Structure 1
């Protein structure tokens, strides 16, 4: 297992390196001059001053030289300074946004896992009955609904029309901090973020459990007189969870994409909103740092998922 973890970690580091090359190259290939992001269009600047600024920022050097200069500084923890936040350090800025994003994603994934697994089990047990058909239809709708459309509809219905929850932000401006206020702002975006993932988990759980329930050892347990509840809970659900665990790990990357839309719609002060603003304002240092940390999180979660998969099923041997 230790060799497997070390090997996967090495592969993950190579993937991160390839990700930085890809993002750095794509940013430089986007239309426009990177120097424009550093210049206030309302303030006139001479061509000599512009060229001096380009030289100071290293934008006059070849692209590979620029990349390795950035990579060397990044390895030392220096990701540069943000353009849109008046020269604030990029790393402290990005790290300050990780907490709200983790809170939103964790809450959404917890809701998705709990609701998805429980409804998947219920649908499998009530196969081809009204409850199963209703849940399956709802799951197909949830899977087919884009995150931005779900976010806008949820905001319009529950925040604007019904006014059950606040329309945006993480806390009420000017009000003292309270857990109740935080939960009031969190419940709607977290629930909307969980819809697609919960629906997908429900379909996987239902399909996997139906397959397990048809196995010989399940029929043997029933023949021995074991109560149906314990047949499902003790014998079937654990084995049915194996593909679901893999799915949960793989949805982390998808959840990050969904969080970008959710944070933009609800003005949630996380990394998603930060990245959107950075792309709009061509804040290259912030984009590079946020992308690197996001990729590292996805790779780490996938590694933990593989370890959890092996822990759940002792029959699995790590090659």
Structure 2
């Protein structure tokens, strides 16, 4: 029951944070240079001053900024995020939701690779502390943390797609061919691996640090003194108790993964939320920017809430306040 109350309280806090996020983004978009009406006007067919005034009034842009936000919020709570001002003028909500799946797929595979590779490397580095493997992995982790996502994407595209031809250069499927799982995996593996590099390096560093602290604990030395096999000592005793800070990191890096996905999707033309946001910013499509930001913020907040709840599963000693 306490866990349920905690989850409901975290959902309430998340909803308030999402409301604050929408306010900030709405105000920042209105403060950007230019006129939002320009996105609705065809440059080859300019409107008269009176037509511009009528268009502004029909869009509600002639009202005070707080009133504009409240109108948008009222419609958003009813599931209406407006219509895109660019392209075919499609409804924003179906347009955004159609891009959520590809982004979640890319992030899920990328973060899974990062967690598996990072935790394995972290455990190996802690067990072989100050050895050749530990030093090599530490250097690679430092390089992975330092390299920007857009640079990794460009280098990976050039080396593995252009020069070596090991992977497609972009898209989610081969044009003109029916959908198939092997074809999807061919397009997915390279951007997912590139997305995982920075996060895997962070997971490796945190896992190594947590494991080093746990391996020096008294209960680990006691288990070894009792003759428990080293694999069991590391897997059952040390790793489980070192997971909590790693889970904290994984939950906090989901937001960073969204930022990395923007660059990865733009470089590889992956049809997800990142590519949609970049396209909307270029076209000054304010309704799409607002809708996409709202959906991304909701996904990140939900992921953080789930991370908090996983703490209790990993370590039953934690009491929900």
Q: Place the TM-score, normalised by the shorter chain, in its bin.
A: over 0.9
Offset from partner CA, 1:43-93 (integer Å, 9 cap, x none): 121101111101111100000110000000000001110112221110000
- Residue matched to 1:80: 82
- Residue matched to 2:259: 257
From 137, 140, 151, the counterpart of 1:138: 140
- Residue matched to 2:106: 104
Offset from partner CA, 1:293-318 (integer Å, 9 cap, x none): 11111111101101101211111111
Offset from partner CA, 1:23-55 (integer Å, 9 cap, x none): 000000000111111111121211011111011
- Residue matched to 1:147: 149
Task: Measure the CA separation in 1 of the matches of 2:113 and 2:294.
Answer: 27
Offset from partner CA, 1:263-314 (integer Å, 9 cap, x none): 0000000010000010111111111111111111111110110110121111
> TM-score with structure 2 length normalisation?
0.98
- Residue matched to 1:91: 93
Q: What is the RMSD of the two structures over their aligned residues, measured on CA atoms?
A: 0.6
- Residue matched to 2:193: 191
From 124, 130, 135, the counterpart of 1:128: 130
Residue segments in structure 2 that go unaligned for 5+ positions in a row: none
Task: Measure the CA separation in 2 of the matches of 1:204 and 1:31.
Answer: 42
Q: 1:255 Cα shift?
A: 0.2
From 233, 236, 261, the counterpart of 1:234: 236
Task: Measure the CA separation in 2 of the matches of 1:157 and 1:87.
Answer: 38
Offset from partner CA, 1:92-123 (integer Å, 9 cap, x none): 00011111101100010010011001111111
Task: Measure the CA separation in 2 of the matches of 1:125 and 1:208.
Answer: 12
- Residue matched to 1:213: 215
- Residue matched to 1:167: 169
Offset from partner CA, 1:141-160 (integer Å, 9 cap, x none): 00000000000000000000
- Residue matched to 1:44: 46
Q: Is the 8 A contact 2:170 2:270 kept in 1?
A: yes
Q: Is the 8 A contact 2:40 2:86 kept in 1?
A: no
Q: 1:237 Cα shift?
A: 0.4
Task: Measure the CA separation in 1 of the matches of 2:73 and 2:185.
Answer: 39
Structure 1 runs (4+) deviating above 4 angstroms are none
> TM-score with structure 1 length normalisation?
0.99
Task: Measure the CA separation in 2 of the matches of 1:87 and 1:166.
Answer: 31
Q: Secondary structure at the match of 1:99?
A: helix
Q: Is the 8 A contact 2:99 2:273 kept in 1?
A: yes
Task: Measure the CA separation in 1 of the matches of 2:30 and 2:186.
Answer: 41
Task: Measure the CA separation in 2 of the matches of 1:305 and 1:203.
Answer: 19
- Residue matched to 1:119: 121
From 286, 294, 297, the counterpart of 1:295: 297
Task: Measure the CA separation in 2 of the matches of 1:63 and 1:217.
Answer: 61
